[in-house]
Amino acid sequence: MTDIVSIAHGAEDFDTRLRREAMQFLTVRTNDGLNSISKQELLDFTIDGEMFRLMDPQRGIRKPRQLSSALSISTVYRREGADRPYEDAVGADGFLRYKWSGVDPDHQDNRGLRAAMEQKVPLIWFFGVGPGQFQPVFPVYLVDEEVGLHQFVVATEFARDLHVTDSPIESHLRRYLIAETKRRLHQPVFRATVMRAYETRCAVCSLGHSSLLDAAHIVPDSDEAGVASVRNGLAMCKIHHAAFDVHILGISPDLVVEIRQDLLEEIDGPMLEHGLKERHGQKLMVIPALRSERPDPELLALSYKKFQSAG
């Protein structure tokens, strides 16, 4: 009896330690979520001196044989405009959904997810942001299963205790959940996708230091047209992002940078002179190699119109 208890206790300890060490590894390798990670880099993770796969190379759900429940889930990358085989989305209640593997509730992958839900263990969600490139979001928790829709309800850590099954959710809580989901999940995925498309360089000046770059929305994602798409994004250094947001800097639909007239006439220090005024009339220095990922001219036109009216 003692041996059985010891084995069970050891397995439980390994599960907890594996999840903790995996998330620590990802925190370091992604610069605390600032950068994405490649499928090849994921193979660098080891535990007890041995390589351990954090993501299944062929399937969307990773349930290691050493664990009694799933360790990670993944959403595959598709080029702009392409459909995903499974469409994971945010529900009307503000919580995320993750589709079953197929439609059989007893499929081994679905059993692994169900066990993770019942055990209330943290998982890692790998979002594809480019070929072989992923943005890990963690920890996430499965808080419910919607059998008729073949999906699980997913919550980030801040929201896992806010989900109430079959209960209407108050509008202010729903707005809060959606806002937090954007901040904790959509924004990191959006940033990683934009940085990959622009090769981690500022579109305006080509600065290449990740920690000094932002993924700027052409049209704010709070606006109806401001979709979280790479075509609504620009990689920008922090000074050019700030100037763009307050309409000091504008970008025309044909990708030409303009600086507001009153700033062109102003005399100030080297940042204004070289960082902004010298960019006036120049084409963007960096654009995505894939035409399908380049800035949407219609969204640029909306932003450019606001820039012109601010002059």
Instruction: Report pLDDT digits (tens) over 18-40.
Output: 999 999 999 999 999 999 999 99
Report the CATH number that the domain containing residue 41 is assigned in CATH.
2.30.280
| 216 found inside a domain | yes
pTM for this entry = 0.86
How do 123-130 and 72-75 pair as beta strands?
parallel
| 109 found inside a domain | yes
Residues 55 and 136 in one domain: yes
24 burial via Cβ count (<10 Å: 0-12, 13-18, 19+)? exposed
At residue 228, the pLDDT reads: 67
**Long-range contacts (CB closer than 8 Å, 24 or more residues apart) made by 170-177:** 173/94, 174/92, 174/93, 174/94, 175/94, 176/94, 177/93, 177/94, 177/95
What value does the mean pLDDT take over residues 90-110? 90
By C-alpha distance, which of 304, 284, 83, 297 is closest to 198? Answer: 284
Residues 265 and 174 in one domain: no
| 16 found inside a domain | yes
| 133 found inside a domain | yes
Instruction: Examine the fold and report which residue of 181, 207, 239 is the final residue of a domain before the chain moves on.
Output: 181
Residues 76 and 111 in one domain: yes
By C-alpha distance, which of 52, 78, 74 is closest to 64? Answer: 52
Q: Give the model confidence (pLDDT) of 30-76 as tens digits.
A: 999 999 999 999 999 999 999 999 999 889 999 999 999 999 999 98
By C-alpha distance, which of 35, 37, 41, 61 is closest to 123? Answer: 61
Residues 177 and 103 in one domain: yes
By C-alpha distance, which of 96, 42, 95 is closest to 71? Answer: 42
Residues 122 and 206 in one domain: no
Q: Give the model confidence (pLDDT) of 198-251 as tens digits.
A: 999 999 999 999 999 999 999 987 644 445 689 999 999 999 999 999 999 999
Alpha helices in the chain (DSSP H): 2-29, 39-42, 108-119, 171-181, 187-197, 238-245, 261-264, 270, 297-309
| 192 found inside a domain | no
Residues 162 and 254 in one domain: no
Instruction: Examine the fold and report which residue of 125, 146, 181 is the final residue of a domain before the chain moves on.
Output: 181
Residues 165 and 247 in one domain: no
Residues 146 and 39 in one domain: yes
Confidence of residue 160 (pLDDT cuts 50, 70, 90): confident
Residues 149 and 12 in one domain: yes
Total tally of structural domains belonging to the chain: 2
Confidence of residue 272 (pLDDT cuts 50, 70, 90): confident
By C-alpha distance, which of 56, 144, 70 is closest to 113? Answer: 70
Phi, psi of 276, rounded to the nearest 5 degrees: -120, -60
| 187 found inside a domain | no
Residues 159 and 210 in one domain: no
Residue-number span of the structural domain to which 293 is assigned: 198-309
| 140 found inside a domain | yes
Residues 113 and 170 in one domain: yes
Residues 12 and 70 in one domain: yes
Instruction: Examine the fold and report which residue of 181, 210, 226 is the final residue of a domain before the chain moves on.
Output: 181
